[in-house]
Chains A and B, each alone.
Chain A
């Protein structure tokens, strides 16, 4: 069975702090993809990143960085120097096997205060 766990329900930080959102996944598939999406109050899910199971290189995009570790089945997301505009719900998701449907975690609500 496939499962994504985001243990942090809500995180509050002050602007310019660094924050890490945790994601742990379970799958029996050898080929799978991991995703992060941002959901602002408007409701639309905004794609942030996709990683495949064969690529464990960490990735950095501006203030965002991702740490993929197969040994611990984790795909954590770090925002450096957080900004108020980063306030949103962030979802980690998994797809794998013979399907591209997304299995989402329950999300982490990030509040960045000025």
Chain B
């Protein structure tokens, strides 16, 4: 049973460019959340997708957008990249069941903006 998979594992982009990160949830999961983890910090919630719609959003600018596909996989898009966007981006999947969802995380995509 495959867990949460993310691609690519590493990425280097230039300031001002756009990037797309991808996530396939654990089999049987229908909800995908994205987190940003800066070096030495805890993960920060970006947003969550369920039934192909953004369900919750953290305190991130509109440059951060996402999408969920009918097969529950998801993309995170970041426009107009800033140096401060350099971080580990983690995807978590869960099964919506009230407030008891246990999130499974992927290994992340390490984005470096130069």
Chain A residues proximal to chain B, CB less than 8 Å: 4, 31, 33, 37, 42-47, 50, 52, 91, 93, 95-96, 99-107
Contact = CB atoms under 8 A, between A and B. Distances in A.
B73 interface: no
Interface of B: 33, 35, 40-45, 48, 56, 58, 88, 90, 92, 94, 99-108, 110
Contacts of A42: 107
A105 B92 CA distance: 17
Contacts of B101: 100
B105 A106 contact: no
B56 A99 contact: yes
A104 B99 contact: no
Given A91-B43, A104-B44, A107-B41, 14 more contacts: A31-B99, A33-B99, A43-B90, A45-B43, A45-B90, A47-B104, A95-B99, A101-B33, A101-B45, A102-B35, A102-B45, A102-B92, A105-B42, A106-B40
